[in-house]
Amino acid sequence: MERCNGLVVISAIFNDHDKVRQPRGLGHKTLHSVCFFMFIDNSTLKSLISHQILPDNPDQPYKIGAWRIVSLPTEKLPYENPAMNGVIFKYIIHRLFPNSHFSLWVDAKLQLTVDPLLLVHSLLVKTGADMALSKHPFNLHTMEEAMATVRWRKWGDVDRIRVQMESYCESGLEPWSPNKLPYETDVPDTALIIRRHNVPSGLFSCLMFNELEAFNPRDQLAFAFVRDFHESKDQNKHVRGRGV
């Protein structure tokens, strides 16, 4: 992974929850200059082998189309919850690929249909931004997303979500308003995250990871809090859980 010194595209499937979707629309030189890594666990590997998508040969490097498959023993993963294990690869990519300058996180539920080099150039290089995400299609405020998370049972520990929201409100998190422009929302769609690997992006990602470990892996709930307060002088009081 140290040899990926430009752009790396990352995805992960744990607990056989999704299927491997091949990127489309790639330029003829993209596969030679961009790294594609898919991380999986034992149950996902077993399913891929049973469907003859991967060979039943642990000595042979696993690859499916553009994706280089990295199989991780389930018993060695740090969290029992598959979603939290996915957060490792979603938010601390810069630690796993220290020589990469840019990265794309792609949820396994998505299929990449645009060349990632074009996305990086148009959304980061051309604009000078450190990170690019899309807006949530429905929710604008963090509290709206919290209520939707409970209503649709996206996370079972309702009391923990309540504690999380109370903690953020007590720390000064306010609903989205035009005062927060140029940020157009407090709730992003984090299925696709495009990052420049630099100090501000790395700090934001580490603080996000700490919040997700402290409460739950629903990153849309923590996003606005970390974004609005990660440059605070009293920053340490907003960091919970294991440091990264």
Look over the chain and give the mean of its residue pLDDT values, rounded to a whole number. Answer: 92
Spell out the domain ranges in the chain: 7-135, 142-186+198-238
Model confidence, pTM = 0.91
| 71 phi/psi in degrees, rounded to 5 | -90, 125
The string of pLDDT tens digits covering residues 138-188 is 999 999 999 999 999 999 999 999 999 999 999 999 999 999 999 999 999
Q: What percent of the chain has pLDDT over 90?
A: 89
Strands 131-135 and 188-196: antiparallel
| Contact by Cβ (8 Å): 5, 99 | yes
| Range name among 54-58, 68-72, 111-115, 117-121 with the lowest pLDDT average | 54-58
Burial of 242 (0-12, 13-18, 19+ CB in 10 A): exposed
Residue 110 CB: number of other CB atoms within 10 A? 15
How much is the pLDDT for 170? Answer: 96
